[in-house]
Chains A and B, each alone.
Chain A
């Protein structure tokens, strides 16, 4: 006994966390600077296990950071740079206000800057760590590279993003490590495997953005700052692993040279730079035959020509990743290698309802064919993708159906094709399969009904006997009922399970109920989908018949 009484909230989890405002005050930073620092250093709030304890008894909503994280931020040299920059801005404003142009110029010459190298190294101690986290960086860079070069963010940033993304694509082409592509309504998803890491990124379609008003571009810019640094270092390292020089030389001229043109024809220069960049990735001069398995040589030996209405950049990227030769109209963009009239072209990618002048010795396909082939890892029959034909659905390659999930029939067809079965036979089989599975499902659903039916049957059996017996008590030899052994066994098992479930502990029961609820829901959804599909198919069949009759 004895000793001092323990005070509340002076030890334990209450001291491990710190609220955002307190953290900000501790670092003596403005909210904007704190936000920037958190983004750059990758500090995020933590959800404490016992919120009330941490919040000192209050239940008010508050975000908490780990105290250790904040202490860690205190040693960050970049915090000093932030302060320097703030002072610089103040001085500059003063100089402008006093119209002291000389001072202003001098100040601008000494504009403080900072580098993020050490932060990258610290956040990603190994290269693999960095690669693991490159998804968001890529998506962001690809988005920023599509921004118009007016307002919103610095032109240099846009150009840097563009350069980095093109370099990345170049690397992917060289290594042929693209795995999956998906055309969604949001943009194009690419998935590549780099050094064993699966990396997915999203590229918007090539359209002008209508910039939303509810987006804070400063936050985005801070992220981009970090991401460009990260991506630059990653690119450097990746190029190094291929024994390539980084940054890659453009058109014989070094990148530095091309950038160091006079500032007068700046706009033209930057545009030319973009085009040259494009050229780089359109004609990667390095080919590594050692890389690339059979699947990666999917389009090897095929010669493609892209019509002007198809998304050229995306298609060229994908096709080159799988070893095809690509060209386009000379007037469209630099980098075209052969003309439409080339006799050796095997595939002509067209995205218009009809084409006037067609050559005999090539296939005219819609762009979806290329993407579907990549996802299926085989050359699909081109007939479904001819010009003007209604396209088959484009399926997501990222979905991996588990048991019990709904699988669209197109996917089943594709799986069969991959196994090497013929599509016609497969269709029939598939239908049968479908029927079977549906029947099974029906059975599952109608278990209760069956029970009811059984009872009814029993009633039928009983009633006449009962009526017959009403007059006098008699003993008659019973009829031996045929027993379905399997069924009985199943029922017995089900009953056994039911009883066991009944004897579960409360905690386990809760979890079990939750899991079973989820399972039932997924089954319900799958059933709903298949029913919907069935109805749609029937409707379309009826339509076809009508048309035929007409």
Chain B
């Protein structure tokens, strides 16, 4: 098998594993379909925006939940809602699912539950970021070798 075919196989298998392990869903595939020669970095750009948003929102949630005087659950919920929306749009299904639970705990004004969800969402985001960065690296290697992802 030549190097391009090898790299292509690696990329396809890794992409499939992200779906199989539930990291991303069909929405992520839809984003990949939007990428073309006019916007060859579209998925990377959207993913970068998502990473930035995640970090900002997770920090907002952590700060709000740290408040000893009284947690503003509406403020936490607002950040979770944003993160749920972003994760849904990019197809980050595991992050989205944690956000769904997180919102329930916000509604119940359950600080312990919220803190557990914050931990989970931080963990899932970190995992996803690593996975996507690996995927993008594989894509770059394939393109550099003269292959294509389509």
A-B complex is real = no
Q: A residues engaging B (CB < 8 A)?
A: none
Q: List B residues at the A interface (Cβ < 8 Å).
A: none
